[in-house]
Amino acid sequence: MDPYEYAMSVEKEGELYYKELAKKCEDEGLSKIFTMLANEEVKHFKTFEAMSKGSALTTLPKTDVFKEARVIFEELKKSGKVPEYFPKDQIALYKSALKLEEKSYDFYTQKANSLENEEHKEAFLRIAKEEWEHARLVESLIEYISYPQRWIESAEFRTFSIEDE
């Protein structure tokens, strides 16, 4: 399978997975975050689709997933509606999302190094970085649902970048 087709299938899988998580999620804040992540996957899909067709790449607006999530969690904290606990089966679902993001990151960084087209190479690396950020966000969500009351009180929800690692 060519790398663009594979990338599009990965992004479509991620979009559908996040939409399903958003639907199943009783927590409004988490549902918003999953919807935001699904929308990010759609943007990635469109970029890979343009590359596969040889079309000019348009720069799609980047969402600062951490900034958006921070706002959601600040609203949740202010509302006082932080759940005492979440069903433990949710952790497995979120860990699957984390694996998806990490798999995407690995593939995109690896594939970027083999591309000759510099514009495509840069797009793969940019999307890889965004997938890495998504993975860090999902890790934070796993921490949140594991210990919601403690996490919301002590969270220093900050923006991560690859340079932090």
> For residue 161, is it within any domain?
no
Is the distance from CB of 159 to CB of 62 less than 8 angstroms? no
> Can you give the pLDDT at residue 130?
94
Tally the domains of the chain.
Answer: 1
CATH of the domain at 125: 1.20.1260.10
> For residue 55, is it within any domain?
yes
What one-letter code names the amino acid at 143?
A: E
Global pTM reads 0.86
149: its two tokens: 């009351």
Q: What is the pLDDT of residues 76-115, one digit of tens each?
A: 778 777 777 787 888 889 999 999 999 999 999 999 999 9
> For residue 159, is it within any domain?
no
> For residue 101, is it within any domain?
yes
Is the distance from CB of 134 to CB of 37 less than 8 angstroms? yes
The domain of 56 spans: 3-154
Distance CA 16, CA 74 (A): 27
pLDDT at 164 over 60: no
> For residue 110, is it within any domain?
yes
Indicate left, alpha or beta for 22 from its phi (over 0: left) and psi (-120 to 50: alpha).
alpha
- Which residue in 73, 78, 1 sits closest to 36, CA to CA? 73
> For residue 100, is it within any domain?
yes
> For residue 8, is it within any domain?
yes
47: its two tokens: 């970029």
> Can you give the pLDDT at residue 60?
65
> For residue 15, is it within any domain?
yes
